[in-house]
């Protein structure tokens, strides 16, 4: 007798990011069923119809429909993308007040459904929202994560690829810390075509005149705002990133990816009760083993600063957790 498990993914929020995430999941055929939830049901219904209209030309059929909170109960993965529409020049932390007003009721509804899968937070500021989601839902720490610096890591590699005109996937390294201004690249751990990236730049100074690790890091940090200035917001990069996280979880790939996760005394990091991005093994159970990067003293100081920035913003919304209704 053949038995099978039908995988279900729920995407909450069908704005520009949620729509792009849903599209990426469907195009890659990552699950059996995709359920869309939006505060305006017509928006979710319309997106489901639009995505279904391309079924003839997609490699794997995915059932797509509008849903409600009860659909979260049996979902393997729930992805929260809902948030306020970004305003030009506004930082992620400046969105915090409006974001929590939108996200808190969503998390309550997900919890009431009896959901016990993997919760992926995409709503910004994602590290603060991930911490809040973990506290609000009561899910085990392994089952709550944020997209974090997975996107920033891809951006850093893409920039190196643009500069060197080589495949960015040959870069081995991560952006870690906060998904925001205090994020950083621990260059002591970054390698490229068999050598450290700093050594690669030194060996090719004439070819890459004016290119430094500081320049690449700053371009990475500013990439999101640059895209917002050009087209009003980001969607495709984060969609590919979240689809990649979803695939890694559903297909039990056990890839090492930097995601926003609870840091609570691991290794040399010496931080507690804060969500930040570090490379971790992702699989069907969610967040697994941490990678100890053996950061330098300067890099550890940057990591602690990132933790301070995120923690002080968590304090601003902690009072919401005392309200249970």
Residue 14, marked binder: yes
Residue 73, marked binder: no
Residue 235, marked binder: no
Residue 18, marked binder: yes
Residue 13, marked binder: yes
Q: Is residue 156 within 8 Å of residue 183, measured between CB atoms?
A: no
Residue 147, marked binder: yes
Residue 43, marked binder: yes
Residue 232, marked binder: no
Residue 41, marked binder: no
Q: Within 10 A of 301 (CB to CB), how many other CB atoms are there?
A: 12
Q: Is residue 104 within 8 Å of residue 124, measured between CB atoms?
A: no
Q: In degrees rounded to 5, what are phi and psi of residue 124? A: -90, 155
Residue 204, marked binder: no
Residue 212, marked binder: no
SS (H, E, C) the chain: CCCCCCCEEEEECCCHHHHHHHHHHHHHCCCCEEEEECCCHHHHHHHHHHHHCCHHHCCCCCEEEECCHHHHCCCCEEEECCCCCCCCCCCCHHHHHHHHHHHHHHHHHHHHCCCCCEEEECCCCHHHHHHHHHHHHCCCHHHEEECCCHHHHHHHHHHHHHHHCCCHHHEECCCEECCCCCCECCHHHCEECCEEHHHHHHHCCCCCCCCCHHHHHHHHHHHHHHHHHHHCCCCHHHHHHHHHHHHHHHCCCCEEEEEEEEECCCHHHCCCCEEEEEEEEEECCEEEEECCCCCCHHHHHHHHHHHHHHHHHHHHHHHHHHCCC
Residue 185, marked binder: no
Residue 154, marked binder: yes
Residue 228, marked binder: no
Residue 265, marked binder: no
Residue 15, marked binder: yes
> In the block, which residue shows the tokens 């305003």?
87
Q: Which residues are catalytic?
A: 179
Residue 125, marked binder: yes
Q: Is residue 87 within 8 Å of residue 96, measured between CB atoms?
A: no
Q: Which residues are annotated as a binding site?
A: 13-18, 38, 43, 92, 122-127, 147, 152-155, 234
Q: Which residues are annotated as a binding site for NAD(+)?
A: 13-18, 38, 43, 122-124, 147
Q: Which residues are annotated as a binding site for substrate?
A: 92, 124-127, 152-155, 234
């Amino acid at each position: 007798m053949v038995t099978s498990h039908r995988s279900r993914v729920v995407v909450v929020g069908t704005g520009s990011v949620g729509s792009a995430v849903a599209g990426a999941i469907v195009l890659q055929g990552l699950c059996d069923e995709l359920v869309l939830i939006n505060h305006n049901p017509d928006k979710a219904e319309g997106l489901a119809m639009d995505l279904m209209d391309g079924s003839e030309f997609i490699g794997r059929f995915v059932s797509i429909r509008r849903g409600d909170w009860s659909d979260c109960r049996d979902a393997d993965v729930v992805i929260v993308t809902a948030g306020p529409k970004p305003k030009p020049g506004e930082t992620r932390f400046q969105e915090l007040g409006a974001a929590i007003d939108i996200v808190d009721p969503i998390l309550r509804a997900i919890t009431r459904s009896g959901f016990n899968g993997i919760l992926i937070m995409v709503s910004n500021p994602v590290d603060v929202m991930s911490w809040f989601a973990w506290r609000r839902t009561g899910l085990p720490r392994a089952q709550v994560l944020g997209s974090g610096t997975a996107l920033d890591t891809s951006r850093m590699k893409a920039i190196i690829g643009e500069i060197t005109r080589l495949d960015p996937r040959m870069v081995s390294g991560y952006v870690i810390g906060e998904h925001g201004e205090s994020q950083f690249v621990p260059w002591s751990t970054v390698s490229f075509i068999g050598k450290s990236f700093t050594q690669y730049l030194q060996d090719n100074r004439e070819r890459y005149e004016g290119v430094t690790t500081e320049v690449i890091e700053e371009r990475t940090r500013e990439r999101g705002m640059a895209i917002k200035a050009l087209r009003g917001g980001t969607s495709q990069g984060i969609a590919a990133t979240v689809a990649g996280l979803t695939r890694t979880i559903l297909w039990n790939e056990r890839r090492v990816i930097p995601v926003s996760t609870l840091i609570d005394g691991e290794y040399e990091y010496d931080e507690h009760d804060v969500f930040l991005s570090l490379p971790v093994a992702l699989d069907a159970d969610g967040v697994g083993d941490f990678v100890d990067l053996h950061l330098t003293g300067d890099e550890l100081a940057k990591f602690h600063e990132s933790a301070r920035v995120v923690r002080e913003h968590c304090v601003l919304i902690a009072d919401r957790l005392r309200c249970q209704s």
